Chain A
Amino acid sequence: MKAVRLNFMQMLRQMKHDPMLLAITFTPILIGILLRFGIPFAETQLTNYMEMECVISPYYELLDLLLILFTTTMFNLVAVMVVLEEADEHLISYLSVTPLGKTGYLFSRFGLTGIISLVISILVFAMFHLTNINVIMLLGVVVTSAVQGIGTAMLIVTFSANKVEGMAIGKFTSLFTLGALVPFFKNGRVQYVFSVLPSFWLSKAVKQSSASFLLIAILIVAVWIFLLAKRFTEKLF
């Protein structure tokens, strides 16, 4: 565990040397501030202007969910960038033949980042939430979101040759979070076109307050990870 901890600290040190990575970790707070103070303000202005009872407020749950998804996505993106740089410098092969090993390396990059993103998601939600989600559901959502973040990180690493490609694929995979919009805007069977996206099921879970949808989301991420595992490990080791 000592090697895992030290290798995680090494990732923090690399972030210190890269202002972009450091900046990415603060974006959930900026988005949270915008959400917490900007959205209610915009809602007041819009309802007054349009003389309607509500405009954005029916979607507050969705915005809270997007904030959680965004937080885990950003933290995993940082891990992805560090991993791609380490792959470029052949460091992963070397770290695999130290007491850290392959498993220790993966845990120090994706496991610990996932856990930290989970904790930060809860904190960001607690500080900037627009709605009240019950604690059990909140925990379910952040855990699923963190697992989805790990799956997405694996996807980016697998299909990127370097950091630049990683950024491009990272932008593309951020579109996967848009699956969360579907249950709020589409009814009927057509919505299930997006059912391969875990964010779709997360959104359904929040909208319908049903934890069973979270299990479907986790199952889908598990399928992603299963399909990616071989290519992912070949790429890294």
Chain B
Amino acid sequence: MVPADDHLAFQGFDVHRLAWADFDRLARGGGGSAVVEQLRRAERSRRLLLLRALVDEVTKNPGLSGPLPSPESAWELLVRVQEKAPPVLDQMLAHPYTGSWVGYTTRLLRDRITGVCPVWVHVGHVHALAAAAAIRAGLPFRGELPVWNGGVMLPTLGLARLPSGSSWSVARVCAEPGLVTVCGGDGAVRVPRDPTSDGPGWWGIRRLAVRAGEHTLAVRLDDLDPYRGLYEPVPPQRLDRDDMDSWHTLLHGAWRLITRCLPNLAGAMGTGLDSLVPRPPVPFRQPSASTGEAFGSAIIAMPADAASLAATLVHEFQHIRLGGLLHLAPLFGEDSRERFYTGWRDDPRPIGGVLQGVYAFFGVTAFWRALAAAGIGSLYRSAAFEFAYWRGETWRTLRVLRDDAALTDAGRRLVDGIAEALGPWQDEPVPSDLARDANAIAADHYAGWRIRFLRPDSATVAAIAGAWLAARSRLDAIPPPGDRDPTPVPDGPWSRARADLVRLRLAGPGEAMSESWRDVPDATAADHAYASGRFAQAEAEYLQELTAGTDRPATWIGLGLALTAQGAGPGGRALLEYPELVRAVHRRIRATTTPARSPNPAVLADWIGRSVR
């Protein structure tokens, strides 16, 4: 061993740092590509450290290699790659799934557990990384690689598909000038000269490059790499040519919007986003995901339109940047208690998730704000609505978060930086009808969270129910219930139907919703009436549902929204501000009386609402 401090190169290095000036730029949503480059350099070191630790561990325990050669041989091949073509090694280390693979395999080794495949298959992926690097560098070599269900992955290049006799086996790879072959079982696959193209037995990883003005975004559309998922390795899910074309079109449209609306962020994204993992579309949803270990990758369902994709890319890129920052500095202490309300989740969240969400939706808010300001006619109303909604929801959560004791000094500085940008946006004008819609949908979500996750004090519920049954005209004053200490188990399901219907109305002509509202998951006729502005009808229909014995949270909240839309009053306020109390009292009275004597929910809510102050 070479003592670190005796080595000239080692003497010169330091730890990775991020100056406060750059930290603050990042906090405010800026920083551009220069800060992303710093995060990338830290990721490179982090991955190298984990790779070194992994090779050390397996060298000490050769049985972990299974039928494959020692990882030392892969390391030696990577040394040759670095000597011949240093940028190739950097590309492989920057590959997002190098990070997720080495993190996943480190956990397997540390915890002495088996993953989706036998440990040797995961450990042996280091040979696949080295082989792909050597092919990229044009080095001649021979090696052995793990096979999973007939697939031999060469990260960043593609997947050779061999006849599959067993779930896991070993393939041979041979690279000579102008010829790379992968052999195993009874099959052999020749890797095409252009590995991004398909060939017999070969699926290439396809690339998409889109350009707008001075900004280019070039990404792999990776449907093959086993480590492209979130938690466990996943098999390939090949995208067909039509879907590829759709992705290209949508990405081009999204990139034009991002570069127009957030040019500084576009510069950062062009540097920091390498790979998209395509997933099938989900009607009325835009699922997406990323992991802090796969810096540079986002998993995204096929979007409905370019604006949705743009917002999703911004969202995930914020997570990616924050994931990189978290590898440099702790922003919060260990606290896994799920105790926060957020406007983007249906369940209570821990502080780490809340901080991630605030930063991600801060970016989303910035995008919709800029898109609304861009004055693109067909997108304006949807963009202004989303801006109004997300600025309020993100700000509401940020104000709770910034005083939380679990934040570190750096975490509080990050939140303060976000607040500097986000705060002034709260007062920017938005058309009143859109602001009203945004406020109503926000109230809908918050009330839906309360009614499912907060449990009112049972003595208070009993006292109120007793007073009702005693036919008292007024209650003693009740203080407004808070929203701390949510329970982890929801009392009933949630429906996002009203939010979906409002967005459907904003996106198209009025008749579009009347034709397609039944396609919205969980939507009822009452929801349709509410979203269409027929509030009295909605009130009647929600009441009918409740009187018939329905106890759905969304029905209680719908009643509160319909009452409030017809004029602020104590009943609507009670149902939107402390619905858990109204429902609990209603349940208690119903349990002690006949159905015919059950209170009218609207009347009960009004009676309770007059006493809570």
Instruction: Answer yes or no: are A and B bound together in one complex.
Output: no
Binding site for A on B (CB under 8 A): none
Binding site for B on A (CB under 8 A): none
